[in-house]
């Protein structure tokens, strides 16, 4: 195999989990060591630890989970900007330190969501145009030696599929619309292979294996 890292992107219900499961099974069957990283800003063990400490000392902070209070705090206060910088540093650690070390130790890496997805998370949660900042452009432009898969499905199919499965942090319908628009507007030029997420899962897997094997 020519590439050590495979990243999956797309809106909820596009089939990321299914394809990660198939790729993991392939690695298992061929005795290939690998790690699966699920990445979402603010949800890594380090940031969750920081949050728990902050909530202990500042009782006025909103509880974990979505709420109107949390939305206002993230978008209209310095807390949101501080959260951005802390979580962004955490992402740099994951993508630029932890991942290369994992590969160096002989593992393949599978990403359930990648840098692009995280930047869209910031756009939605903070309501700020982070795509055009120099730091974000640098981070997005540096991940070239990776197989990046964008599984595309219509929004209504995403809604229908999500009603039948559990999502840890589901987008609202409006957030799905925004996320879908940002993918379509921004993904060109970042070396993503776009695949129809409505195709048969096995056919999608075959296409991905062709990319991994360099066919």
Angle, helix 16-29 to helix 201-213, in steps of 10 degrees = 60
> What pLDDT, in 10s, does the model give residues 146-203?
899 999 999 999 988 888 877 767 788 888 999 999 999 888 878 899 999 999 999 9
- Give 1's pLDDT tier (boundaries 50, 70, 90): very low
Residue 57 falls within a domain, yes or no? no
- Predicted TM-score (pTM) of the model is 0.84
Residue 69 falls within a domain, yes or no? no
| Number of domains into which the chain is organized | 1
Residue 127 falls within a domain, yes or no? yes
> What pLDDT, in 10s, does the model give residues 51-92?
677 666 666 665 665 556 556 656 666 766 777 888 888 888
**CATH classification at residue 200:** 3.40.50.300
Which residue from 215, 188, 212 is spatially nearest to 109, judged by alpha carbons?
A: 212
Q: Which domain holds residue 169?
A: 5-46+92-213
Distance CA 130, CA 8 (A): 21
Concatenate the DSSP letters of all residues of 50-93 into one string: HHHHHHHH-TTSPPSS--HHHHHHHHSSHHHHHHHHHHHHHHHH
Residue 183 falls within a domain, yes or no? yes
């Amino acid at each position: 195999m020519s590439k050590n890292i495979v990243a999956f992107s797309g809106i909820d219900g596009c089939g990321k989990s299914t394809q990660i499961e198939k790729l993991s099974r392939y690695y298992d069957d061929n005795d290939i060591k690998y790690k699966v990283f699920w990445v979402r800003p603010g949800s890594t063990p380090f940031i969750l630890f920081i949050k728990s400490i902050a909530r202990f000392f500042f009782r006025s902070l909103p509880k974990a989970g979505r709420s109107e209070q949390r939305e206002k705090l993230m978008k209209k206060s310095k807390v949101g900007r501080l959260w951005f910088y802390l979580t962004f540093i955490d992402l740099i650690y994951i993508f630029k330190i932890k991942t290369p070390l994992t590969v160096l130790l002989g593992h393949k890496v599978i990403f359930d969501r990648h840098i692009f997805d995280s930047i869209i998370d910031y756009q939605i949660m903070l309501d700020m145009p982070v795509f055009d900042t120099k730091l974000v452009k640098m981070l997005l432009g540096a991940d070239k030696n990776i197989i990046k898969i964008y599984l595309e499905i219509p929004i209504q199919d995403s809604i229908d599929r999500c009603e039948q499965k559990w999502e840890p942090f589901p987008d609202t319908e409006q957030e799905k619309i925004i996320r879908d628009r940002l993918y379509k507007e921004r993904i060109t030029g970042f070396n993503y292979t776009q695949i129809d997420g409505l195709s048969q899962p096995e056919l999608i897997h075959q296409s991905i294996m062709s990319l991994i094997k360099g066919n």
